[in-house]
Amino acid sequence: MNIDVSEALKALDNPTRLAILSLLKNPRQNFPEQEADADQLGVCVSIIQERVGLSQSTVSNYLAALQRAQLVTSQRIGPWTYYKRDEKKIAQLLAALKETI
């Protein structure tokens, strides 16, 4: 399934969501407090929340929007949810924009 460009652009039309996606590009560097392998597993919502300084519910809503837009994936382990970028979908978005614009 190809990425919905309009949905992705809507998700990115928010400075904090864009910042979160950017921070997730280098998870080990940007989230050194993440004890698990951030490159493989992703970054826990609570750690992302601490970094951006917003409420957990707001950050969860922002991550849900990025996930609906297929820009991130999530993995639930016990009570924690970990997010990481979906590089394949991001590449599809960039290619679609290059063709369209």
Residues 6+ apart with CB under 8 A from 55: 49
Residue 55: pLDDT band by 50, 70, 90 thresholds?
Answer: very high
pLDDT of 36 over the 90 cut: no
For 5, the token pair is 């460009």
Q: Which of 13, 30, 20 is nearest to 74 (CA)?
A: 20
Give the confidence band of 72 by pLDDT, cuts at 50, 70, 90.
very high
Q: Could you tell me the domains of the chain? A: 5-96 (1.10.10.10)
* Strand (E) or helix (H) holding 44: strand 43-44
Q: Per 3-state DSSP, what percentage of the chain is helix, strand, and coil (rounded to 5)?
A: 60, 15, 25
According to DSSP, residue 76 is labeled: E
What gap in Å lies between CA 81 and CA 64, rounded to an integer? 11
